[in-house]
Amino acid sequence: MDAISVIRAKRDREELTGEQIDWIIDAYTRGTVADEQMSALAMAVYLNGMTRTEISRWTAAMIASGERMDFTALPRPTADKHSTGGVGDKITLPLAPLVAACGAAVPQLSGRGLGHTGGTLDKLESIPGWRASLTNPEMMDVLRDAGSVICAAGDGLAPADKRLYALRDVTGTVESLPLIASSIMSKKIAEGTGALVLDVKAGSGAFMKNTDDARELATTMVELGRDHGVRTVALLTDMNTPLGLTAGNALEVRESVEVLAGGGPADVVELTVALAREMLDAAGLTDADPAKALADGSAMDVWRRMVTAQGGDADAELPRARERHVVTAPSSGVLTRLDAYAVGLAAWRLGAGRARKEDPVQAGAGVQLHARVGDPVTAGAPLLTLHTDTPETFANAEAALTNAIDVTASATYEPTPLILDRIE
């Protein structure tokens, strides 16, 4: 078998055979297929798509390229969650300890931010001493001690996806639905969790801008989970406005701790509890009550044990940006739109995000919201506060917010539901 034949087949809209897919993924992982050839195949997939059979086999081949983790030695059922990313999406931070407090083990492998969407590991690394990189035995120790762990995926987990993801990032093929679905699910299935809940976001601040595309992606990933024996369910959620009242790293950690303490913004609490219920149901823990675990402090106890087990100081003061700039409401009325993408772009420009995976991030940078969509605002009153260590970025961050805010006099605001659909 050779790479050119496989490229030509997909270029000519043929369905790849299982043998072709297995061979190309294995050969690329071993380095016998060149980046240029895999780039051509990725573009052919981007343009011509894949059948469900192809996507399932492609996912299986990427899983087979590395190790598969095993949590059967744990005394609890395992459940995990994956979000397709958004602005202010700090849900993993309160969710993992909450589900663990209700009896499941949560092996949460997370990533770093790129562009306008934040990364869970970047947020947690604002906690002094906290470590993202754990060995597999260390990960098991944290799970036994705390019940949940949030850490980086090791190099041995789906290495084919790691190589292909980096290639897609520089060849304009990131947006391919088959490649997105197989990338996410190969890592999650190789992770070895027994149940998986997907938070697939739709809207301006999401990867999928419209609901139909998000639903197609969610359906494809749920099917892949079923194909590989992992009970999978997806919630389709709105990402036209930021989640919560913060977008940044330390800013979002503070807000997550507020949720664990029984407070926090209503939308963050709503989505955290909804996803927790789905994870617990999928793990067979149908009698658990996540709302009670938030109220009685047991989720906070797990958070503190988890942070400490990963080297962090749960009592330490989180970093704060040295400089702040207030953006005021342009007029009086009802805030009817606050564009999620614009807020994420502003946070990125302030230093909370990165343009390349090698770039550093500022722990204290980001955007703080003083009003939610649907709230009344007064002209000249604080609407947003921009946080950064580099005040020369304020102008570019504020420019990102141009045309992102609508205030309407005497408007009757009809809120969009946070949870748009459920796919099983």
Q: Could you give the residue numbers annotated as active site?
A: 82, 161, 168, 183, 187
CB 271 within 8 A of CB 418: yes
Tokens matching residue 302: 């797990």
Closest to 180 measured CA to CA, from 328, 62, 347:
62
DSSP structure class, residue 114: B
- Collapsing DSSP to helix, strand or coil, 31 comes out as coil
Which ranges of 196-310 would DSSP assign to H, the alpha helix? 211-227, 250-260, 266-282, 290-295, 298-309
- Backbone CA torsion sign across 411, 263, 236, 178: positive
Residue in 262, 263, 261, 264 with CA at minimum distance from that of residue 246 = 264
What would the two tokens of residue 168 be? 């897609």
Strand ranges (DSSP E) for 22-90? 80-83
Q: If you ran DSSP here, which 8-state letter would residue 349 be given?
A: I
What span, in angstroms and rounded, lies between the C-alpha atoms of 49 and 68?
27
d(CA 89, CA 387): 18
List b or e across 37-75, with b for residues whose CB sees 16 or more CB atoms inside 10 angstroms: bbbbbbbbbbeeebeeebbbbbbbbbbbbbeebebeebe
Q: Please tell me the distance from the alpha carbon of residue 30 to that of residue 257, in angstroms, as a whole number.
A: 43
Neighbours of 352 (CB within 10 A): 33
Tokens encoding 190: 């190789």
Closest CA to 405 of 345, 351, 340, 350: 340
398: nearest Cα among 339, 346, 323: 346
Question: DSSP label at 175?
Answer: T
Amino acid residing at 28: Y
Residue 396 token pair: 């570019």
Q: Are 354 and 215 in contact (CB under 8 A)?
A: no
- The helices-and-strands tally (H runs, E runs) of the chain is 16, 13
